[in-house]
Amino acid sequence: MKKNILVGQSGGPTAVINASLYGVIAEGMARPEDVDHVYGMVNGIEGFLSGHVMDLSSLTHEDLILLKQTPAAYLGSCRFKLPENLDAPVYSLLFEKFKSMNIGACFYIGGNDSMDTVDKLSRCARIRRESISFIGVPKTIDNDLPVTDHTPGYGSAAKYVASTVREISLDASVYQQPAVTIVELMGRHAGWVTAAAALARKFPGDNPLLIYMPEVPFSMEQFFKDVEQALSRQPNVVICVSEGIRDKNGRFICEYTNEAQIDTFGHKMLTGCAKILESYVRNRFQVKVRSVELNVNQRCSSLLASAADVQEAESSGRTAVEKALQGETGKMVTCSRLSGPGYELEYGLTEVGNVCNREKSFPVEWITAEGSDIGPEFLDYALPLIQGQPDHIMENGLPKYLCRK
């Protein structure tokens, strides 16, 4: 008996999250013997609970091509935490809705917290003896999901960061007067995005001269020594910092002035460490200082997306559907690098409990120079992820995107 499948998106978007959605839709529609309709949750599980659903099977071929190049979450996102108690009334409501829509498989595209939703729904289904498959499709620019080699979304974010930091470095080099530019990048607990700034360098000693990430405690005293040494080498210094850098006591640098806010999952909402460091450097060295916060641009720049990332995001979505139709549930799609020359991936699954509410830090052994630089191992790891430029459909000189009506 044919069933319908359901897909939702959750958490912070990426430049390629819709490529994963495309993969789910395309693979579902390519299996008419198993799948009747592909439905989408509008604003994730939270919107689904409110009855906001759309029939994705009605999208035209042109719509799907545009979807694949559209950044942000086409279906809309949410940050909604399901109760720990699997007897909570919300679960009965959810499974009643699944049954009324004849859902045979549900896919959730997201990061750590989204996998928590997949985990709870799959465990609840087992308790209730429901035959619905729940599969997580990985997504996050933070690249902090365990088990998988890397996460769709990271390659494009890394490419954007490297390209933009390169442009900032060129801009900073035009004047002879001493100046410091501090670039703040995303990364609450993991420095993967900030590490991508190392890809901007074209020769040894090129900017950014200093890179700081959350994996190594940040020392203001050491920071001043590093800046002083950098300024003695050249007049224009570019420094890249993760938003989540913290001191040896665990206090975030962004908390040196104001307390960070807390989101619904209990995570501190961090911003502003570059601005704080700007004041410290200006007062200490009496030089021109500028702070730059790249903010959401890191996750929504489609024009600088990586073609490899787009393809891998799509493959992750297709793999999720394939595995669900084989009867798998309570799993997340993973990728592994095959040994041997060249770069090739193999897609598989891991128990979602191995992923949800856990984080993969940047390898400390890849961090050098007393915590202020990145070693060559990272370049070998990251370069394959940023390769290629996807074709873009343009309109009036601008990229054309698919907007939900």
Give binding residues for diphosphate as ranges.
12
Q: How many residues does the chain have?
A: 405
The long-range contacts involving 198-201, CB below 8 angstroms and separated by at least 24 positions, are 198/162, 198/373, 198/374, 198/378, 198/379, 199/158, 199/161, 199/162, 199/379, 199/382, 199/383, 199/386, 200/161, 200/162, 200/163, 200/165, 200/166, 200/169
Annotation: binding site? 12, 112, 140-142, 186-188, 243
Annotation: binding site for substrate? 140-142, 186-188, 243
For residue 149, give the DSSP letter. Answer: S
Which of the following is catalytic: 113, 116, 119, 142? 142
Could you confirm whether 309 is annotated as catalytic? no
Strand blocks (E) in 15-162 = 35-41, 53-55, 103-110, 133-138
CB-based contact 214:245 (threshold 8 Å): yes
Annotation: binding site for Mg(2+)? 112
- Which of these, 270, 221, 228, lies nearest to 245 by C-alpha position? 270
Give whole-number Cα distances, 344 to 330, 339, 379, 403, in Å.
Answer: 26, 8, 17, 33
Residues facing residue 335 across a β-bridge: 347
Angle at 88 between CA 83 and CA 89, to 5 degrees: 125
Q: How far apart are the first and last CA of the chain?
A: 32
Residues facing residue 6 across a β-bridge: 39, 106
Three-class HEC string of 259-318: CCEECCCCCEECCCHHHHHHHHHHHHHCCEEEEEECCCHHHHCCCCCCHHHHHHHHHHHH
CA gap 72, 281 in Å, rounded: 35
Residues serving a catalytic function are 142
